[in-house]
Each structure stands twice: as C-alpha cells, then as structure tokens.
Amino acid sequence: MTVWRKSSHSGVGGTSECVELARLPNAVGLRDSKVPESGHLALTPEAFTALLAQVKRDELPR
C-alpha cells in the first residue's frame, strides 16, 4: 500500500497549493492532494533531489 503524506510547506485551506509525497519502489511520487485521482508523477530519487534543489533556489518558471 502506498502511503501519501502532505508536504509540510503546503498551505491550509481549499485554495492553497497542496503537494503530497510517497515512497514508491525505486521512485518518489508527487501528486496534487486536491485531486489525487488524477494520478501522480514518479521521479527517481536523484531527479527528486535535483528538483528540490531547483525549488529551493527558486529556479523554476512560474
């Protein structure tokens, strides 16, 4: 069974941006907690670490 947990940086309330993470076999899963039935993105641990570093450096397009 996959256990999803809400990011500690997600906001509170219905209009907030909510991200959930899960440990998957050989991957990290990411999904929108407001619409979990829409699927998820699976990243290798290395790709997830790189994505997180880009987020922290505010390098992603808006």
41-43 and 27-32 strand pairing: antiparallel
Instruction: Report residue 49's pLDDT band, with 50, 70 and 90 as the boundaries.
Output: very high
The SS3 call for residue 13 is: coil
4 within a domain of the structure (yes/no): no
39 within a domain of the structure (yes/no): yes
8 within a domain of the structure (yes/no): no
Tally of structural domains, the chain: 1
Contacts of 57 (CB under 8 A, 6+ apart): none
Q: What are phi and psi of 11, to 5 degrees?
A: -80, 180
Q: Which domain holds residue 38?
A: 16-56
pLDDT-above-70 percentage for the chain: 87
The answer, yes or no, to whether residue 32 has pLDDT greater than 70, is yes
33 within a domain of the structure (yes/no): yes
Instruction: Report residue 31's pLDDT band, with 50, 70 and 90 as the boundaries.
Output: very high
What pLDDT is stored for residue 16 in this prediction? 66
Question: Rounded to two decimals, what is the model's pTM?
Answer: 0.77
The answer, yes or no, to whether residue 11 has pLDDT greater than 70, is no
